[in-house]
Amino acid sequence: MPLADCAEQSEQLETRVITTLKEVVDLERDLDVVSGGQIYAVVATGGAVRVLLDPERFPDEASQSALAETIQPLVEALPGVERVVVKPRPRLAAPRNRLPGIQRILGVHSGKGGVGKSTVAVNLALALAARGLRVGLLDADVYGPSAPTLLGLSGRLETTKDGTKMRPMETQGIRVVSLGLLLPAGQALIWRGSLVDEGLGQLFNDVDWGKLDLLLIDLPPGTSDVHLAVARHAPLSGVITVTAPGQVSVDDVRRGMEMFADLAVPCLGLVENMAGVVCRRCSVESPLFGKGGAAELAKQTGLPLLARLPFYPSLAAASDSGHPPLVDAPDSVQAAQFHGLASRLAIGLELEPGVSA
């Protein structure tokens, strides 16, 4: 299903669920539970609906459970609903700030490392910039930042003239911030506990991003404190999920999707990477890391499969030496694949150059 249709369908379902929940009245306050704030968010991913309750709006756990039991069958009975989870939202320490000047923020996520998430994030950023969009790339894969390698960047980020903020590094029309451009080469990052949240906060708030149509965030693989910190500091419009076709990668992706749903961040679509290898002589594709996992996941979740990229030996070599195909081989089949992905996202998210506030 095209991204635009899928997003529209999910939005319509969310509206129907909210309308239904507005009929549920909290008799003590004489107010419906949506207006009363007990419903924190409704997130639909295909036919799967998550209703997140705001624990701070309940006097005790018993009343929260009672509401969950009331609304579960009501939502289950709605047409188009296949699965319902009603649960309290995770406690995020403070409300998310809107980042001024940034129109949309989109995460790129994967269940496992090594599936090509950063390669997709970097080339997608370049392909969106080629459409005239003002694009930033925040490499938040803090324990393995690879954007500088993939983009052939070195050196350190500079500060603004007044010394109060960091300036992203500009390359090929995108603005890049990565811990790899903040730490001395080869130095590992040791962020634990509250430092994760503090450090991520600085990457968002202490950077002079300027005006952006889109900030892409290359998230770490899996589920971690970094994801929670990103969700707390940045109002994510959604995430796209990169997976290899094998079952193990797909299973991990599901866990990530559940985590984002709990954070009220919708998953907008899937990218299957390293989907197979194409014989240069006979053009026949052979599976490499399993087969069909992303297509199956797309079917089950109703999410669009935004792109399916084979394993290109030349892409591995070019990326690892800092020559992304979008820049160094603009007419290649790989570049065309990333342009296709960028175009589906730009249309689906209604991204237009120069609309940021």
Q: Please give the Cα distance from 162 to 49 (Å, whole number).
A: 47
Name which position in 49, 67, 274, 346 contacts ligand ADP (CB under 6 A).
274
- Within 319-338, the residues that bind ligand ADP by CB under 6 A are 319-320
Q: Per-residue x/- marks for ligand ADP, 134-153, CB under 6 A?
A: ------------x-------
- Within 82-121, the residues that bind ligand ADP by CB under 6 A are 110, 113-119
316 touches ligand ADP by CB under 6 A = yes
Q: Please give the Cα distance from 311 to 176 (Å, whole number).
A: 26
Closest C-alpha among 122, 44, 124, 120 to residue 85: 44
Q: Please give the Cα distance from 99 to 290 (Å, whole number).
A: 40
Number of chain residues interacting with ligand ADP (CB under 6 A): 18
223 touches ligand ADP by CB under 6 A = no
Q: Which of residues 53 and 124 has its CB atom nearest to ligand ADP in the complex?
A: 124
132 touches ligand ADP by CB under 6 A = no
CB of 337 to ligand ADP, least distance (A): 8
271 touches ligand ADP by CB under 6 A = no
- Residue 25 structure tokens: 């009245």
Determine the 3-state secondary structure of 307 from DSSP: strand
CB of 158 to ligand ADP, least distance (A): 26
CB of 313 to ligand ADP, least distance (A): 6
CB of 96 to ligand ADP, least distance (A): 25
Helices 293-301, 247-262: crossing angle, 10 deg rounding: 30
**Contacts for 52 with CB less than 8 Å, ≥ 6 apart:** 39, 40, 41, 42, 43, 87, 88, 89, 262, 264
38 touches ligand ADP by CB under 6 A = no
Q: Alpha-carbon dihedral of residues 259, 265, 266, 269, nearest 10 degrees?
A: -80
- Residues lying near ligand ADP in the complex (CB under 6 A) are found at 110, 113-119, 146, 273-274, 309, 311-312, 315-316, 319-320
